[in-house]
Amino acid sequence: MPTARSEMTPEHAGRLNAHYDAASAHEGQPLLARLREAFLAAGHDPEHLSLDDVAGIDQLHLGGRSASRALAALGGLEKGERVLDVGCGTGGTSRLLAAEFGCDVAGVDITASFIEVASWLSAATGLAKHTHFLCADAASVPLTADSFEVVWCQHALMNMPQVPRVLAEWHRLLVPGGRVLLHEVVAGDNPAPLTLPVPWARTPDTSHLRNRQQLERAMALAGFEPLSIEDVTQAALAWRQEHSRCESGPGETRQQASALPGPTLIFGSDFVQMGRNLRDNLAAGKVRVLQGVWRLGHR
């Protein structure tokens, strides 16, 4: 299958960068510099960090590390497999897969500041040898065909306006029989408009949710056969409800939660409202959460 052309216009890419690095624009200081200062303020050496130290800024999806571990188990991830982490953000899942599952991971994200932070955090946590990051459009990844046994993607497709082009690129990059491990927010049965902002969008034009049937059809048309698909909405809602309580709890709770850098340093002060809105959208059935595994069929 030929390489897909880039789907992201400069304007769309710019909106994504502005959304995912909103605090930098407000503070006038790069994300990397602000995070380093925050670790120093918390009494941590920014050049020597643990995976626990960085958990607050490197798992920017529902369920955090537990959801990533569950998806890896569902997909039967094996030591030594080469994984492409699409929409890797600040690289948390890439590092988890390297540290806990023995994989070699290449992370791809269109947000340049995320890639800069991901490379720093991998070096600081001693995982630079097994994790590598590049800034690229998911529909046009500058890597050779048949490079990976697994494509991994968590909460990223809803940012992509032309999913068929992205899936065509996954088809190109996977070895024959390779797998897609997907953890995704999809449109629910409630057709009411989303309550915005949410963690992936502040305006309707940057949210590209598909429903489950549309996603499954797109995967099938791209040549991927479903092995397992689970609706994990209730677990995601429970996780989001607990985090919303912590984020809006008493001052002591908030102080403990903010001792190490958290997502407000990335998304800005409205992150707490984004989390509440996501919780409410889940509870109202406006969105659902899926995790699944697909295998690349015959070319």
> What ranges do the domains of the chain cover?
12-19+28-238+272-296
pTM of the model as a whole: 0.90
- Please tell me the least confidently modeled range out of 20-29, 30-39, 56-65, 289-298: 20-29
The dotted CATH code for 12-19+28-238+272-296 is 3.40.50.150
| Euclidean distance between CA atoms 277 and 260, whole angstroms | 24
Strands (DSSP E) along 66-190, which ranges? 82-86, 104-109, 131-135, 148-154, 174-187
Pairing of strands 148-154, 224-231: unpaired
What type of residue sits at position 258? Answer: S
139 SS3 class: coil
Q: What is the pLDDT of residues 157-215, one digit of tens each?
A: 999 999 999 999 999 999 999 999 999 999 999 999 999 999 999 999 889 999 999 99
Sheet with 148-154, strands from edge to edge, namely 131-135, 104-109, 82-86, 148-154, 174-187, 287-296, 224-231
| Euclidean distance between CA atoms 81 and 149, whole angstroms | 6
Q: What is the pLDDT of residues 75-124, one digit of tens each?
A: 999 999 999 999 999 999 999 999 999 999 999 999 999 999 999 999 99
214 SS3 class: helix
| Euclidean distance between CA atoms 229 and 197, whole angstroms | 28
Burial string for 41-70 (b: 16+ CB within 10 Å, else e) reads: eeebebeebebebbbbbbbbbbbbbebbbb
